[in-house]
Amino acid sequence: MDESRDGLKPDMDRIAAWTERLCGIPGLSGAEDPVSTVIADELKPLAPNQHIDVLGNLTVTVPGSDPGAPKIMVFAHTDQLGLVVRRIEPDGFLRVERLGGVPERVLPGLEIVVTNARGEAVPGLVCVKAHHATPPEEKGVVLTADKLRLDVGAESAAAVRALGIEIGAPVTYRPRFQRLGPHRICGTAIDDRAGCAVLMDVVRAVVERPVPSTLQAVFSVQEEFNLRGAMVAAARLRPDAAVSIDIMVASDTPDLAERGELRLGGGPALGLYSFHGRGTLNGTLAHPAWVRVLEGAGTAAGLTLQRSAHTGALTDSSYVQLVGEGIPSVDVGYATRYTHTPVEMCDLRDLVGLTAWLHAALAAMPAGFSFARRA
């Protein structure tokens, strides 16, 4: 799409600005409050009906224009993956554990931030043996996270603690964000801060252009940790159906060309199948009623949609769908390159398309709408 022709630039700029702001906030799983606080403050003038549960999920509710229409929970996760301090060495170096799917091959030499007890971001880096002293047999070896050390410039354990750092302190990639060309953005925790920005924009859209359905926008927690944070919100809200907004692995780079057909700028994506395949036998098969609604809404809105079916990744829809007697669930998302690395990339046109798509879907479910599996 050409932004000079389709008039998308203001929408792209708004979502880019929200994404940039959110990407700049360290928010490891379990320490997402600074992220949800910014979201809540930003949306308060538009949607004051807000709730934060014990786990930290932020729910923003926008009542629909038709009291008999379905209640739809749309959620995106506020947390990011990273590390946790597990030991402070006498010489001031830190030892860590992984939290979430951190690719260990990207860690040595990486800039990080440690969030101290006062909520301050203490800069540091992941130690790497000096190249001049590394023997040939070690140069291609990837160390596991438990063998790495972090350096925050302290000369002793006492100096580390004087910085407000204790065991359990969250560690995340140093925040980055930039725009590349007219449509692309890249940054730290695009997964899923760009999804949060889309959900913020969906809230704006249904406030400005009301729909029959009630929107329960949930900015969820702990997705990168155990995929179950959104379950708490779903158990409280008991929606009629649920939608997860998250990344989907792009296959438009040479190394992934045969994985699928997702490409940046190709439009928002519908998840038909996801399965983790490692450590948990769980995944999401798109509920057929959702497939009908979303495909119809996409056609009505004139959108080009992409489709995804993949093994190796999950969203927390895989557990939300199991709440109560079952919640019709589906994944939607945006193609993303370089996932779980310090700098991920996506396309603003896909994010804008997600807002339009979800707004159209919420508008297509009046009173009497049924999520029966068979049409």
Q: Which residues are catalytic?
A: 223
221 in Cβ contact with 74 (< 8 Å): no
218 in Cβ contact with 303 (< 8 Å): no
Task: Report how far apart, in Å, the C-alpha atoms of 16 and of each of 20, 83, 133, 337 are.
Answer: 6, 27, 43, 17
Note the helical H segments in the chain: 3-6, 9-23, 33-43, 157-162, 190-208, 223-226, 229-237, 288-300, 317-320, 348-363
DSSP per-residue string spanning 63-106:
--S-TTSPEEEEEEE--B-EEEEEEE-TTS-EEEEEES---GGG
276 in Cβ contact with 312 (< 8 Å): yes
**Coil vs helix vs strand at 46:** coil
How far apart (Å, rounded) are the C-alpha atoms in residues 135 and 27?
A: 37
Region of 327 (left: φ > 0; alpha: ψ -120 to 50; beta: rest) is: beta
